[in-house]
Amino acid sequence: MERTVYALVRYPDCSAAIDFLTAAFGFRPHEVSKDGQGQVNHAELLVENDMIMLGRGKPGGPGVYIAVADPDAHLARAEAAGAEITMGLVDQPYGSREYACKDPFGNLWYFGTYRP
């Protein structure tokens, strides 16, 4: 599948971010690029059939929404890995069941069953 839009999330320590994102959200590393000192400066992580990119930099900005099949189990995994839950599970009027959290670096993440 050829993609057109990619979410990009910035982290001061991409290696630590990859460890958290794989443990908390079930992402899988696709490509990891390191600089001359061995620090990760760019990475691509897969989630089902989609991809997010990580870059080195200051966290923040708009959040990322990712559709998941079982948000209840996903929230439990994220919480166990140290995500700060900012919105507990909510059944939305448009049919989605979703939650929101911050990763340890301050980036916002939204997960739910809605697939536009």
Give all domains of the chain, ordered by start, each with its CATH number: 7-112 (3.10.180.10)
Q: Please list the residues that pair with 79 across neighbouring strands.
A: none
- Between 62 and 31, residue with greater pLDDT: 31
* pLDDT bucket at 116, cuts 50 / 70 / 90: confident
Each residue of 13-38: b (16+ CB within 10 Å) or e? ebeebbebbeebbbbeeeeeeeeeee
Say which residue the tokens 């390191």 belong to.
Answer: 34
Residues 51-98 have pLDDT tens digits of: 999 988 888 777 889 999 999 999 999 999 999 999 999 999 889 999
Q: Strand 108-112 and strand 64-67: pairing?
A: parallel
Q: With contact defined as beta carbons under 8 Å apart, do 110 and 52 qualify? A: no
What is the pLDDT at residue 93? 87
Binned at pLDDT 50, 70 and 90, residue 5 comes out as confident
- Looking at residue 1, its pLDDT comes to 60
With 0.85 as the threshold, say if the pTM is over it. Answer: no
Whole-angstrom distance, CA of residue 104 vs CA of residue 27:
16
